[in-house]
């Protein structure tokens, strides 16, 4: 762990990457720095949540048909308010907003698009379990001189992301991000006394095969046979292959993902028949699966919907959901073999 005051700040790291990128204009640096300020504000509120009246539900239901927690709303507002005035964004997309978020005419626009889950793991806010913010950044697609952002500016495959990452608000606040193109995945820990994120996890690589599987086994009766066979494989793997797994499931995607990224393993949110309106499971392609799929790919892992790469999916709507198998490459490829039917338990 870095000594207080020592170490590389996130700003220094971003500027170094900017210097190494011949086409960088500083616009991206401005964008990321402002997002970091928003995360620091959210982190402060999350860490006070036990003390002030920001706990609990607003009593409202969002576009996801989920109870909206006060901290969801707060985090969403903080990000939108901070990001809309920096002159670097064409538009935004948030898990908490049904439609595209325009940049108000009083602010200049830019060429980047920010999609985000302002607060991931909302069900864990009131019980002091780690939660997070997930983000993905694209360049706008439409080259038309038109001033109106179009939905299809945002609906791009995850492979088009120019950067992606997350903040995890846990025992410490950590930011993990990548700008792709083999620049690696790097983690920064917030030192509240400094108000700075310092480099703490340089060039994160996920083990090719892990020993952790993460899935909500409470949904066993809602899964199809292939999914049950897959989860059974991880349960019985020790006896069958000598390579045993342990089960870990926090219920905050960012927390489960971050642990598996550092230790190795697979996180699964399979399709289920629990809610006929959500046949492909609960997680969202644009604001959860795609950003984490870019991070995991850059860290040497893999993310699949059970049939192919998450990053190759052409989105058709802003809030579309997708089954997610993400983590160590070997484990996710095995999940794909089961879900696509190429492999059954017996083989």
Nearest residue (beta carbon) to Mn ion? 120
Q: Which residues pair with 197 in a beta bridge?
A: 190
Q: Exactly one of 43, 75, 84, 122 binds ligand AHG (CB under 6 A); which one?
A: 122
Cα–Cα distance for residue pair 302/316, rounded to 1 Å: 22
66/97 with CB nearer ligand AHG: 66
Interface with ligand AHG in residues 100-119 (CB under 6 A): 117
The Cα–Cα gap between 179 and 164 comes to: 7
Nearest distance, CB of residue 160 and ligand AHG, angstroms: 22
Q: What's the closest the beta carbon of residue 115 comes to ligand AHG, in angstroms?
A: 13
Q: What are phi and psi of 238, to 5 degrees?
A: -60, -50
- Here the tokens at position 311 are 């990053």
Toward Mn ion, which CB reaches closer, 116 or 338? 116
- In the complex with ligand AHG, the residue whose CB is nearer, 66 or 102, is 66
Site string for ligand AHG, 237-276 (x = CB under 6 A): --------------xxx-----------------------
Helix intervals (H) in 204-340? 225-241, 253-263, 290-298, 329-339
Q: Which is nearer to ligand AHG, 4 or 123 (CB)?
A: 123
Q: Residue 93 interacts with ligand AHG (CB under 6 A)? A: no
Residue 166 gets which letter from DSSP?
E
Question: In terms of CB distance, is 122 or 328 closer to Mn ion?
Answer: 122
Rounded distance between C-alpha atoms, residue 112 and residue 75, angstroms: 20
> Is 175:199 a contact under the CB 8 Å cutoff?
no
Beta strands in the chain (DSSP E): 57-61, 67-69, 89-94, 112-120, 131-139, 163-169, 173-178, 185-191, 196-201, 212-214, 246-247, 266-269, 302-304, 324-327
- Minimum gap (Å) between residue 128 Cβ and ligand AHG: 15
Q: How many residues bind Mn ion (CB under 5 A)?
A: 4
Task: Give me the residues that bind ligand AHG (CB under 6 A), please.
Answer: 66, 95, 117, 120-123, 216, 251-253, 282
Task: Give me the residues that bind Mn ion (CB under 5 A), please.
Answer: 95, 117, 119-120
């Amino acid at each position: 762990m870095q000594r207080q005051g020592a170490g590389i700040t996130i700003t220094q790291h971003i500027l170094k990457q900017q210097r190494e990128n011949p086409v960088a204009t500083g616009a991206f640096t401005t964008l990321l720095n402002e997002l970091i300020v928003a995360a620091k504000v959210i982190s402060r509120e999350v860490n006070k949540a036990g003390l002030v009246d920001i706990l609990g539900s607003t009593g409202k239901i969002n576009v996801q048909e989920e109870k909206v927690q006060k901290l969801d709303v707060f985090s969403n507002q903080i990000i939108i308010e901070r990001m809309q005035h920096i002159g670097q964004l064409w538009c935004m997309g948030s898990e908490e907003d049904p439609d595209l978020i325009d940049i108000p005419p009083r602010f200049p626009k830019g060429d980047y698009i920010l999609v985000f889950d302002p607060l991931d793991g909302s069900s864990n806010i009131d019980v002091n379990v780690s939660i997070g913010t997930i983000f993905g950044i694209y360049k706008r697609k439409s080259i038309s001189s038109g001033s109106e952002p179009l939905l299809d500016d945002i609906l791009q495959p995850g492979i088009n992301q120019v950067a992606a990452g997350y903040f995890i608000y846990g025992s410490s606040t950590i930011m993990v991000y990548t700008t792709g193109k083999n620049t690696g995945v790097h983690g920064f820990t917030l030192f509240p006394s400094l108000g700075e994120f310092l480099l703490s996890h340089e060039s994160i690589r996920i083990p090719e095969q892990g020993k952790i599987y993460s899935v909500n086994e409470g949904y066993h009766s809602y899964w199809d046979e292939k999914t049950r066979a897959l989860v059974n494989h991880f349960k019985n793997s020790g006896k069958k292959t000598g390579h045993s797994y342990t089960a870990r499931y926090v219920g905050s995607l960012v927390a489960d993902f971050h642990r598996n990224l550092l230790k190795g393993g697979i996180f699964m949110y399979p399709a289920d028949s629990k809610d006929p309106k959500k046949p492909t499971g609960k997680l969202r392609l644009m604001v959860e699966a795609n950003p984490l799929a870019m991070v995991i790919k850059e860290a040497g892992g893999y993310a699949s919907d059970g049939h192919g790469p998450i990053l190759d999916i052409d989105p058709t709507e802003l809030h579309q959901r997708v089954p997610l198998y993400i983590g160590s490459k070997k484990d996710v490829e095995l999940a794909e073999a089961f879900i696509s039917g190429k492999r059954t338990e017996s083989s």
